[in-house]
A and B are shown apart, each in its own frame.
Chain A
């Protein structure tokens, strides 16, 4: 029987569904190397639209339990269902999006299956020995660790949303859909959901931006900080801010880039006058290319940058605006 890579279908909101699609794409790549097939595992009530979506995005097979009793997300119930199915089908790998739900669900599944789990991975690859090499950050992204599960199966990881790119939607793809009935001995959830209110969807402009211009207190004053908006506008980018800037009310709290704020992964990050507290570097280290401007060459942000410009942040910002206006072809 062909090995299976499972992707947990986490569909409750846009962001969760995106990470599921991203994992399907990565799993397709990994599956080719270990001759496995990609299976989406999905629990819920009236979820056929997600079944189709997962197939269109790379699933070779979908295991779905669709039942009115599963209308609410429940860690305990989903863990029990996954445990039962995994003990029967013995997948080689299970990948789960590192959403709040995924990060509570996956550790429990791993415990029940007696296997290892790596948290919040930012890369996955198959090693020479066929093992899944899972790259996970620690110390706020200052260190990366490659982790393997040599003996136990399945190999399990939660994966940070946004690190892989989803495949284009292919509506003519077909796949096997296997309907798994709700087991008779399904346990009752011991944690009772009293109410659940959907919060307003936070816009994802900063997370999705290809260019982010991020400023810190080194910009000098509130009015100088405003120049960053013009620079960002010229580059079709977004403006992010550090915590001290938000505290000083130079920028809105929604623009906070940090552990408690937004995590970004732009193609190019411009960092102006930011020393680089760990909460901030943790949220920016996935940027592809970092240009940092700071008077202090030893600032953490300067050390992690591709280009470290030792100069006054405000002056460089002004010069860049001028330069861009001259260079952009209409």
Chain B
């Protein structure tokens, strides 16, 4: 029986990110959480493999205790159990520390796994690095940005589009793939399914101590990178607002930004001389 592991992450619901209108920044703490979109595709790929070949799916995530929600959602979709790595010591991890943490947890809780599936990237930090680094940590073959998977005995055949090359790859299992959002559209999980999963799902909470993690290699302490500043790229724009009749606006755009436009289009533009019309309409 195939032992499949799907790594998932809870991310803020991007379409509903609350903006602070005064500072022009995101108020991430106010956003609702959801399962990262690409992780849903990875889960779907695992569910389809399980359907065809039989198997057992472990969904695993690292995050605060509320991340339990996405594990229950994964169970409602068809995963067999969920593992939540949650510990204050794990907070502030970059991809280097995250991949270490996930690898050790997988080795402890599911040492005889056949395949690890990850989403190709997350919608929040968008690094796409945890998958490849997890393959390194587990010392198994891995392929990123896989679009289609096919199991043939203990060999996994994969297709992907990599920088204009359509590649067919093979590897012996155990291995790791990161799955794109091209195929494997996630199945619909009904609300009642999630509710049932809340009552009966097998979710295991794991702390750093439970699996003997080296405190110096997890969380912020184990992360080589530091964020020195976070800001909104739009906040330094002037955001000039113009209103009025279309004809006047068109005229004003060229009067005010004619140089910039003419520089970009590579053509000379006349500037009109009509003082009275240029009265502050904007």
Residues of A within 8 A of B (CB): 12-13, 15-16, 75-76, 99-101, 103-104, 106-108, 110-112, 114-120, 133, 137-152, 190-199, 201-202, 210-211, 234-237, 260, 266-268, 277-278, 285, 289, 291, 297, 303-312, 315-316, 318-320, 322-324, 326-329
Contacts and interface: CB of A to CB of B under 8 A. Distances in A.
Contacts of A195: 167-168
Given A149-B225, A304-B237, A266 B264 contact: yes
B163 A12 contact: yes
A99 B163 contact: yes
B246 A311 contact: yes
Interface in B225-282: 225-234, 237-247, 249-251, 253-254, 257-258, 260-261, 263-272
A54 to B, nearest CB: 18
Contacts of A118: 127, 225
Given A148-B226, A323-B254, A139 B123 contact: yes
Given A108-B133, A119-B128, 8 more contacts: A103-B129, A107-B95, A110-B129, A138-B126, A195-B168, A196-B167, A306-B237, A307-B241
Given A192-B171, A268-B260, A309 B95 contact: no
A289 B260 contact: yes
B124 A192 contact: no
Contact of B228 (A111, A148, A191, A197): A148
B242 A108 contact: no
B17 A139 contact: yes
B144 interface: yes
15 contacts: A75-B132, A108-B132, A114-B224, A116-B96, A143-B25, A143-B231, A146-B229, A146-B230, A191-B169, A192-B171, A309-B249, A311-B243, A319-B247, A323-B251, A327-B258
Interface residues of B, number: 88
Contacts of B230: 143-146
A43 to B, nearest CB: 16
A300 B226 CA distance: 30
Majority secondary structure of chain B interface residues (helix, strand, loop or mixed): mixed
B145 A100 contact: yes
A143 B270 contact: no
Contacts, number: 271
B166 interface: yes
Contact of A146 (B95, B145, B227, B241): B227
B166 A191 contact: no
Given A142-B17, A145-B230, A318 B225 contact: no
A270 B131 CA distance: 38
A268 B261 contact: yes
A328 B268 contact: yes
A126 B260 CA distance: 30
Contacts of B239: 303, 305-308
Nearest to A142: B26
B192 interface: no
Closest 9 CB pairs of A and B: A116-B224, A190-B141, A116-B225, A267-B264, A319-B250, A315-B246, A119-B127, A107-B129, A104-B144
Contacts of A104: 132, 143-145
Contacts of B3: none
Contacts of A315: 246
Given A111-B136, A323-B254, A116 B238 contact: no
B233 A107 contact: no
B60 interface: no
B188 interface: no
